[in-house]
Amino acid sequence: MNTRLKRLTILLFVSFVLMSSCGRKAEKINTVSGELTVFHAGSLSLPMKAAVDSFTRLHPNVTFKLESAGSVECARKISELSKPCDIMASADYKVIDKLLIPQFASWNIPFAGNEMAIVYHEKSRRASEITKDNWFDILAKDDVAFGRSDPNSDPCGYRTVMTVKLAEIFYSKSGLTNNILEKDIKYIRPKEVDLLALLESNTIDYIFLYKSVAIQHGLKYLELPQEINLSNIAFDELYKTVSVEVKGKTPETFITMNGEPMVYGLTIPKNALNPQLALEFVKYFLEANGGQTIMRKMGQTAIVPSSTASFDSIPEVLKGFALKK
């Protein structure tokens, strides 16, 4: 066999090996299949949908059932109603720590931050007047209505209460908390995104809401001082001066939620029907070029890796996305 023929034979052999390898990889990707049920915070509705769409382009045989609710409500579906759930993503990592670990979940990975804001649109009454220095006076006016979510169902609800309590301290305005929290109670809803329809219909003018949700929906928002918006670790000690009592693991019990910087968390509950597939999706969701890119584009702070008290219980394949506290 001459040299040229030898080279051609080798090239053909290498090409065959590479094509076979690619075929096996494609086959492996296509064999990833099954259904995942994801319970997630309302504020994660658009980012989670985007992450799922991206994941299913890589794994077309995987289907998802996404259930959006307040994070506390999501946890209770698992702990009280025993609903099967493959992935639980909470707007507050403490919901997983306090309501699910250790009985219903073993670990918790923090993955994103956020901040409280006051959200509105161009038709909101007194929109041209509201500022970070007078928002509490504007919201208290009789011709203005605002909405907030239920503290017993949704972290955004108890974070709203914390923000208002911090505002009374920051602005030195005695009575501010009562003036705000006792007004427009009829517009309290189970989760923060339920309030968007009320805003769009002009039933209310403003919402206490996460900045990311405003960005995702193209709404105007008033940025609040970092001393009260629960976004900055530098004000951790200040945030801790306020707290909110919410319903606990049973309707008869209560737990205390202390103020702290916003941190989202996720876990795979012990009752997951497809835990191995759930690991694949969580890995993708936490990757810098996967779900974390989506989170940043949608207005949230990516914080992977961050420390967690449950580090030792995290599956090995996910430990690179967390730090030991």
Better pLDDT: 30 or 52: 52
Q: What pLDDT, in 10s, does the model give residues 81-99? A: 999 999 999 999 999 999 9
Looking at this protein, which amino acid is placed at residue 136?
Answer: F
Residues whose CB falls within 8 Å of the CB of residue 17, separated by 6 or more in sequence, listed in order: none
Mean pLDDT of 179-188: 97
150 in the same domain as 78: no
Paired residues of 301 in beta bridges = 113
Residue 325 is predicted with a pLDDT of 87
Task: Output b/e per residue, 93-112; b: 16+ Cβ within 10 A.
Answer: bbbbbbbbbeebbbbbbbbb
pLDDT greater than 90 at residue 122: yes
Query: Per the structure block, which two tokens stand in for 158?
Result: 């108890």
Q: Is residue 228, in this structure, part of any structural domain at all?
A: yes
Work out the pLDDT band at 30, boundaries 50, 70, 90.
low
Q: Is residue 254, in this structure, part of any structural domain at all?
A: no
Closest CA to 112 of 37, 44, 192, 42: 44
Q: Is residue 158, in this structure, part of any structural domain at all?
A: yes
99 in the same domain as 198: no
Q: Is residue 251, in this structure, part of any structural domain at all?
A: no
Average pLDDT, the chain: 91
Q: How far is it, in rounded angstroms, from Cα 163 to Cα 166? A: 5
The torsion angles phi and psi of 231, rounded to 5 degrees, stand at: -110, -20
225 in the same domain as 301: no
pTM of the model: 0.85
CATH number, residue 189: 3.40.190.10
Helix (H, G, I), strand (E, B) or coil at 141: coil
Mean pLDDT of 69-90: 96
193 in the same domain as 80: no
Q: Is residue 37, in this structure, part of any structural domain at all?
A: yes
Work out the pLDDT band at 248, boundaries 50, 70, 90.
confident
Dump the DSSP string for 181-246. Answer: HTSSGGGEESSGGGHHHHHHTTS-SEEEEEHHHHHHTT-EEEEPPTTTSS--GGGHHHHTT-EEEE
Better pLDDT: 76 or 30: 76
Q: How far is it, in rounded angstroms, from Cα 139 to Cα 142? A: 8
Percent of the chain with pLDDT over 70: 90
Number of separate domains in the chain: 3
Residue 31 is predicted with a pLDDT of 67
Structural domain span for residue 203: 116-245
Work out the pLDDT band at 252, boundaries 50, 70, 90.
confident
Q: What pLDDT, in 10s, does the model give residues 256-305? A: 999 999 999 999 999 999 999 999 999 999 999 999 999 999 999 999 99
